[in-house]
Amino acid sequence: MSETTMNLTLKIWRQKNQNEKGRFVTIEAKGISTDMSFLEMLDVVNEDLTRKGEDPIYFDHDCREGICGMCSLYINGQPHGPKHGTTTCQLHMRSFHDGQTIVIEPWRAAAFPVLKDLAVDRTAFDRIQQAGGYVSVNTGGVPDANCLPIPKVKADEAFESATCIGCGACVAACKNASAMLFVSAKISQYALLPQGQAERWSRAQAMVEQMDAEGFGACTVTKACEAECPVGIKLTNIARMNRDYFNAKFFKEETVHH
Amino acid sequence: MSSFKEAFSSTLGKKLVMSLTGLFLCTFLIVHLIGNLQLFKNDEGFAFNQYAYFMTHFGPIKIVSYLLYASIIIHALYALILTLHNKKARPIPYDQKPGNKNAAWNSRNMGILGTVLLVFIATHMANFWWKFHNDQVPYIQYETNIETGQISAIEMPAEEFTDYKEFSQDGVEYVQARDLYKQVEFAFENPILVAFYVLAMVALSFHLIHGFKSAFQSLGFDNKKWIPLVKFLGIYVFGVIIPIGFAAMPLYFFFK
Ligand code: SF4
Ligand code: FES
């Protein structure tokens, strides 16, 4: 594909800080290369703004290669833009056309308050992780190969759940701002492995409790999260979480001790 | 005990309530449809009216019917609680709506579909359940000649009717009953009501195509072997056969 340039109209959410009300601002982006990533396009716009002495657009990013989960833009009605299975940093301007208007919004959720412009506070996810998304019992040193009895299918499934990058697109996409896909992936990655068994039931309870405490919505199985998740986390994780949670609450001895 | 309370006040637990009440209502639909197929019998409501009496006077079924009313109320109430909770989870809406880009229309509009169904249930019960229980339906007497098997039906004046009765006299079997069948015939002469019933069944179809399989998801049931069956039942039985079966009833009487 040959490189061409295009002109775009950006409608961007701008908000000074957590307390102030935000609004949409229209900015023209001229001479954007189709080979640029979406974030590089914003870099160009920001350089322009800085030159003019204006406040650059604040947005989250880090690795810019689709693994850290920091980039978080809601582009034309979809988290991470129109392409499925990709993060905003991996989205290229060739997915848009010359003269197009692009509306960029921050993730919208009560649990993800806007910090500034397009950046939101996602520490709610950290707190959910801290509530139980780890193995705290001593599982010994690095085991010898093939010492742990785990079927390949389970290892694969656990690995797939573990690919969640914590970006929050599932919350952003869900009409209920539900975090179930994220939480269930984090629960599943241990629930499927032998090392995770010791704390399996307390973990499910603790993480669900924290998820509710953060004010995320409930799941209505629209599957928007699955469609928008950049790494393809499956809805079956949510079923597993439900199963583990009810199992823990109704049939197991362990409860969470605060 | 507190573990139970905790479980049911969580978002997952509230969905569990939605799931269980919803599935219970689904099983009711099967029974209701099969029973009401007797409306299609060309017997001036003989079988149907007897069935209506049985369904309202047989102890165990009465208990199930109270469970049913409770399920409807709880299902609607929890839907409301969850909707408010979910609205609170996103206080500032997006400017751009994704529409059908990442989720099916019915999955996003279960509340609207459910509200149509709730209004339908209220109308339906006012038309039949209320009238049947409050003696606002006509009465009928069926006479079966035991020798010839010939059945004739005559309307009974209200003064003569005391209660549902079955007795035989001089080689004739008598059944006196409330004529709910007549009420059905009468109600479905109204084209607006018929149209509303058909519309409600379209809503039912969309509601159940999403709801039935989602109920299993909320329960945590996604066994690879059985999920295809759940999906099949959700679409073809609850999304097609049952709504069409029910919609056929008002249409049958309207065009009869
Ligand atoms: S489940 Fe997918 S969309 Fe949600 S946080 Fe993880 S990677 Fe992002
Ligand atoms: S910046 Fe790291 S995933 Fe996009």
User: Is the pLDDT reported for residue A224 higher than 80?
Assistant: yes
Residue A137 pLDDT: 81
Contact assignment for B11 to A211 by CB distance below 8 Å: yes
Residue A254 pLDDT: 60
Residue A109 pLDDT: 98
Mutate to test the interface with B, among A182, A212, A221, A254 (most CBs of B within 10 A): A221
Residue A146 pLDDT: 82
Q: Are residues A89 and A131 in the same domain?
A: no
Residue A144 pLDDT: 87
* Pairing between β-strand A23-33 and β-strand A78-79 as defined by DSSP bridges: unpaired
Report yes or no on A257 lying in a domain. no
Residue B3 pLDDT: 77
Contact assignment for A208 to B210 by CB distance below 8 Å: no
Q: Which of B94, B104, B108 has its CB closest to that of A77?
A: B94
Mean pLDDT of A44-61: 97
Contact assignment for B218 to A242 by CB distance below 8 Å: yes
Mean pLDDT of A223-233: 97
| Residue B139: strand pairing partners | B156, B178
Contact assignment for B11 to A77 by CB distance below 8 Å: no
- Can you give the residue range of the structural domain that contains A209? 123-251
Residue showing tokens 């969470």: A256
Checking ipTM against 0.95, whether it exceeds it is no
Residue of chain B with shortest Cα separation from A170: B102
> What is the CATH classification number for the domain harbouring A109?
3.10.20.30
Q: Which domains does chain B carry?
A: 2-135+180-255 (1.20.1300), 139-178 (no CATH)
Q: Which of A115, A135, A153 is where one domain is finished? A: A115
- State the Cα–Cα distance between residues A201 and B211, nearest whole angstrom: 28
Count of domains forming chain A? 2
User: Is the pLDDT reported for residue A24 higher than 70?
Assistant: yes
Triad B161, B164, B169: Cα angle to 5°: 85
User: What's the pLDDT tens digit per position in A175-221?
Assistant: 999 999 999 999 999 999 988 998 999 999 999 999 999 999 999 99
User: What's the pLDDT tens digit per position in A92-140?
Assistant: 999 999 999 999 999 999 999 999 999 999 999 999 999 999 999 887 7
Query: In angstroms, what CA-CA distances link A258 with A184, A204, B114?
Result: 22, 14, 39
Name the residue among A81, A84, A85 with its Cα closest to residue A93. A81
Q: How many CB pairs under 8 A join A and B?
A: 141
Q: What is the dihedral of CA A37, A38, A43, A44, to 10 degrees?
A: 80
- From chain B residues 70-109, the ones with a CB under 8 A of any chain A CB are 82, 85-86, 88-99, 101-104, 107-108
Residues A178, A225 contacting (CB under 8 angstroms): yes
Residues above pLDDT 70, as percent of chain A? 97
B214 touches chain A (CB under 8 A): yes
| Cβ within 8 Å of residue A238, ≥6 positions away | A180, A181, A184, A219, B217
Mean pLDDT of A149-165: 95
The residue ranges of chain B whose pLDDT is under 50 are none
User: What's the pLDDT tens digit per position in B192-224?
Assistant: 999 999 999 999 999 999 999 999 999 999 999
Q: pTM for the complete prediction?
A: 0.93
Q: Which residues of A touch B94 (CB under 8 A)?
A: 74, 77, 105, 108
Residue A255 pLDDT: 57
Report yes or no on A246 lying in a domain. yes
Q: Is A37 in the pocket of ligand 2 (CB under 6 A)?
A: no
Residue A2 pLDDT: 67
Report yes or no on A28 lying in a domain. yes
- State the Cα–Cα distance between residues A63 and A65, nearest whole angstrom: 5
- State the Cα–Cα distance between residues A161 and A235, nearest whole angstrom: 10
Confidence band for A1, pLDDT divided at 50, 70 and 90: low
Mean pLDDT of A30-48: 97
CA distance A146 to chain B (A): 27
| Residue A29: strand pairing partners | A8
- State the Cα–Cα distance between residues A236 and A258, nearest whole angstrom: 30
Which ligand is in closest contact with the Cα of A38? 2
- State the Cα–Cα distance between residues B250 and B128, nearest whole angstrom: 13
> What is the CATH classification number for the domain harbouring A233?
1.10.1060.10
Q: Which of A86, A115, A144 is where one domain is finished? A: A115
